[in-house]
Each structure stands twice: as C-alpha cells, then as structure tokens.
Structure 1
Amino acid sequence: MVFKVKPKAATPAALIKDGTYRATVSNLKQFANTYGERIGFEFTIKGGQFDGERVMRSTAPQLSKQSKLAEVIEGILGRELTDKELQGGFDLEDLIDKECNILVLQSKSKAGAVYSNVERVFSA
C-alpha cells in the first residue's frame, strides 16, 4: 500500500498594497482563534485598483474607552463613543454599509504567511 503525503498547498491571499483606501463595512463575524473570541470587521474597498477586494480587521469583543474595538467603531463613525454607548453597549449591525477610510499594511502571521491587514480605520 502506498501512503503518500504532500505539503499543504498555499492558499494565495489577495495582497493589497500598503496604503489608504475608501471602503464600506460589508460584514461582521464572530469567531475564535489563538487570541480567543474575536469580532471581525470585513471591509470592501471602493474604487481604484483594488475595487471590490475585501480585507478584515479583528478585535477582542470587550468594549471599553481604550479598547481596539472602540477604536475601530469610532474610526468608522468619525466620533468618540458616548458614555451611554460605552456603558449600555453598541449595536455593531448599525455599522454595516457605513463608508470609512482604512489603512492597509502587509503583516505576517505566526505561521509566516503574509496578508493584508487593516491597521487603522478612520472616517470618510
């Protein structure tokens, strides 16, 4: 009997050049990875060479004034979250289809794969 193994085929990721792009929030996902529970913000680039390409930014699901989650929400909204929003919670579904600008930079995963990372989100 032959029991042949092969290396895992690399999945080519759509690499988006470092830069700032206009985008819309196109989807939200909840998932878990090596960092624990995460909220994934999917952004679809509007216009230019990468029109229609999607990139993601994830954060921990805890909302506080200094959290990365608050930083992303405030970037999309173009304003700081109110104390009421911070204390009472914020409905992330309200962010779907909102326009914003994203800063994309190449990053390397723990496994060594290079991917396009949304480093920063700010208002359109």
Structure 2
Amino acid sequence: MKYLLIMFIVVTCMSCKQDYNKDIWIKNQNQSSDNPRFEMTKDLRENYLLKGMSIDTVFSLLDEPKYIDTIESRIQWTYPIGSNPGFHIDPYYLVIDFDSTGHLIETDMHVH
C-alpha cells in the first residue's frame, strides 16, 4: 500500500510540470483551475526569468501583467496562473519584482 501511495505522489508531481510556451501563456490569462500557466511557472522561474533581466525582456516573454504596483522603490507585476492542479482551491499568482531601474530582483508565487 505504501508503495502505491509513493508512486501516486511521484506521478502526480511529475505531471504538474510543463515547459514554458509563450503562445499557451498568452492565450490563458484567466484564473481558472485548468489554467496551464500554473504548470509552466516552475520552468519559467528557473530558466527564463533571470535576476537582472530588464522589464522589457520580461514583457516580451509574458505580455501585459494583470496588476502593476509600485511598492517603495520596487515595481511589482502580477500574473494569474490558476490554481494547483491537485487541489483546485485557491488561485495562485506569479509575482515579479523589479528594482527602480526596471531590472528583475526576484519572482514568487502567491496564493490569494
């Protein structure tokens, strides 16, 4: 029984990752539970959204953010990415922080 549970967890986690695809990203700007953005976010954060990247380069990757905020001297862009495919409860957002010169500082996933 333990073996089956471990296999289920491994298979579930492996299926939650999808490579970033700009066309799919731009077509799925909603906050639905089946939004493929959630599954692309890990690849996007690890391989595309690099520290020091310009705000223009991020725009060319992701298009217009849903929310733009200024917090102290930072610029913050927020994109809806749907909910965790395994739970479908709370909506998640990809949050990207830029410094005052428009260079990427960090990315994070927030639950709202």
Q: Does the pair score TM above 0.5?
A: no
Larger Rg: 1
Structure with more relative contact order (C-alpha pairs < 8 Å, separation 6 or more): 1
**Structure with the larger helix share:** 2
**Structure with the larger strand share:** 1
- Which TM-score applies when normalising by structure 2? 0.29
- Which TM-score applies when normalising by structure 1? 0.27
